[in-house]
Amino acid sequence: MNKIGLTLSALLLFSCVAMLYAHTEMMCNDKQAEVTMKAHGHQNNVKILIAYFTWPEPDGIDAASGASRVLSDGKLYGNTEYIAHIIREATGGDLFAIKTERTYPTPHKALIDDAKKEAEANGRPKLLNHIKNLSDYDIIFVGYPNWWYDMPMVIYTFFDEYDFKGKTVIPFVTHGGSSFSQSVATIAEMEKDANVIKGPSIPARSVPDAQASIINWLKQHGLINK
Note the pLDDT of residue 18.
42
Q: Would 89 be classed as within a structural domain?
A: yes
- Residues 169 and 74 reside in one and the same domain: yes
Note the pLDDT of residue 76.
77
Q: Would 98 be classed as within a structural domain?
A: yes
- Residues 8 and 117 reside in one and the same domain: no
Residue type, 172: F
Q: Would 226 be classed as within a structural domain?
A: no
- Residues 73 and 162 reside in one and the same domain: yes
- Residues 30 and 126 reside in one and the same domain: no
Number of H helices, E strands in the chain: 6, 8
Q: Would 201 be classed as within a structural domain?
A: yes
Residue type, 55: W
Q: Would 7 be classed as within a structural domain?
A: yes
- Residues 127 and 35 reside in one and the same domain: no
Among 89, 80, 94, smallest CA distance to 173 is for 80
- Residues 90 and 177 reside in one and the same domain: yes
- Residues 79 and 8 reside in one and the same domain: no
Note the pLDDT of residue 70.
62
Our count of domains for the chain comes to 2
The C-alpha atoms of residue 28 and residue 200 are separated, in whole angstroms, by: 20
Q: Would 225 be classed as within a structural domain?
A: no
* Residues 6+ positions from 170 with CB-CB distance below 8 Å: 139, 140, 141, 142, 196, 197, 198, 199
Note the pLDDT of residue 107.
84
- Residues 76 and 166 reside in one and the same domain: yes
* Residues 6+ positions from 51 with CB-CB distance below 8 Å: 96, 97, 98, 131, 140, 141, 142, 143, 158
pTM over 0.85: no
Residue numbers of the domain that contains 4: 1-39
- Residues 97 and 128 reside in one and the same domain: yes
Helix axes 153-161, 183-190, angle to 10 degrees: 20
Q: Could you list the pLDDT tens digit for every one of the 226 residues in the chain?
A: 554 444 444 444 444 434 443 443 333 344 444 544 555 554 468 999 999 999 765 544 443 334 555 655 657 788 999 999 999 999 999 999 999 999 998 888 899 999 999 999 999 999 999 999 999 999 999 999 999 999 999 999 999 999 999 999 999 999 999 999 999 999 999 999 999 999 999 999 999 999 999 999 999 999 998 7
Q: Would 27 be classed as within a structural domain?
A: yes
